[in-house]
Amino acid sequence: MKKLHHKPIVGCMRWGIWGENFTTSQYEQKINQCLEIGLDIFDHADIYGHYTTEAEFGNALKGNTNLRSQIKIITKCGINMLTPNRPQHAIKSYDTSAAHITKSVEQSLQNFHTDYIDTLLIHRPDILIDVEEVGATITALKKAGKIKSFGVSNFTTSQVALLQKYIPVEHHQVEISVTNLNAFENGILDQCQLEKIEAQSWSPMGNGIFTENTNQHSRILAQADSLSKGYECSVNQILLAFIYAHPSQIVPVIGTTKFERISEAKKAMEIELKREDFYKLWTASTGKEVA
């Protein structure tokens, strides 16, 4: 049965000092350009730009409730990063305690000049996670209207199942692409379908595919290039179509900072990759025929 593909989420990890170092007016311009083509969900994390990108994005929203009301903000918490911006951190570590989650959400609300976060994700599975405590904390934050929905990122299926006993997990953001096939086989996408969890893919184009010249990358890019001619589209669109081909209705979180590539990515929603073409890319990725 044919299902409509979801529009991409716009990843903001590279908008600040980890990438383009946009000015406030460039943030505002980029947000508006995305809105003009119907992309209204923006993905953040407290740590992006060593804890600076949320606030920079927020400066573009300051005093502009109209702009805020037109967009949806995803942000994440749970990683304590080593950086001069957080001198109190002695080691990179994870923290999903009630105190940390609550403090992080309050900081994000302040950074974005808003009184609600649309989606909060726990960024990485904290080995010491107390699922009952997380459940109670998220329930309280939802009740207070500070977060609208909740999910996780980079969890295993058993970690999701455990957390689900205490709080509904509505989104799971994991690395999924033609260079990282794990989620297709490790049960994460099965669990998303079973439990009606939205699957989001980070690095959807393939981590390192444009920067590292490995044999795997060369095989994939050659295959994607060949397919792009038949589908009359770009290589980037073929890479996204690979993800869209899966029936779990994966939502790509695209990381490009270039509007032309954002716009092109949105048009990938219209491509229906044929079954054999999916497997041509799969085979190019693994370097061997399926069993």
Ligand X SMILES: NC(=O)c1ccc[n+]([C@@H]2O[C@H](COP(=O)([O-])OP(=O)(O)OC[C@H]3O[C@@H](n4cnc5c(N)ncnc54)[C@H](OP(=O)(O)O)[C@@H]3O)[C@@H](O)[C@H]2O)c1
Which residues of the shown chain bind ligand X in the complex (CB under 6 A)? 11-14, 43, 123, 153-154, 173, 202-205, 207, 210, 236, 253-258, 261
Q: Please, which residue, 157 or 236, has the CB nearer to ligand X?
A: 236
- Classify 11 as helix, strand or coil: strand
For residue 57, the minimal CB distance to ligand X (Å) is: 11
45: helix, coil or strand? coil
Closer of 22 and 282 to ligand X (Cβ): 22
How far is CA 167 from its chain centroid?
A: 21
- At its nearest, how many Å lie between ligand X and the CB of residue 206? 6
- Least Å distance between CB 291 and ligand X? 28
Closer residue to ligand X (CB): 63 or 76: 76
Which C-beta is closer to ligand X: that of 119 or that of 256? 256
Orientation angle between helical segments 259-267 and 24-36, nearest 10 degrees: 20
The answer to whether 251 and 201 have CB atoms below 8 angstroms apart is: yes
Q: How far is the CB of 205 from ligand X (least distance, A)?
A: 3
Minimal CB distance to ligand X: which residue? 255
Question: CA–CA separation, 23 vs 143, rounded Å?
Answer: 35
Rounded CA Rg of the chain: 19
Q: How many C-beta atoms lie closer than 10 Å to residue 40's C-beta?
A: 16
Active-site annotation, residues: 48
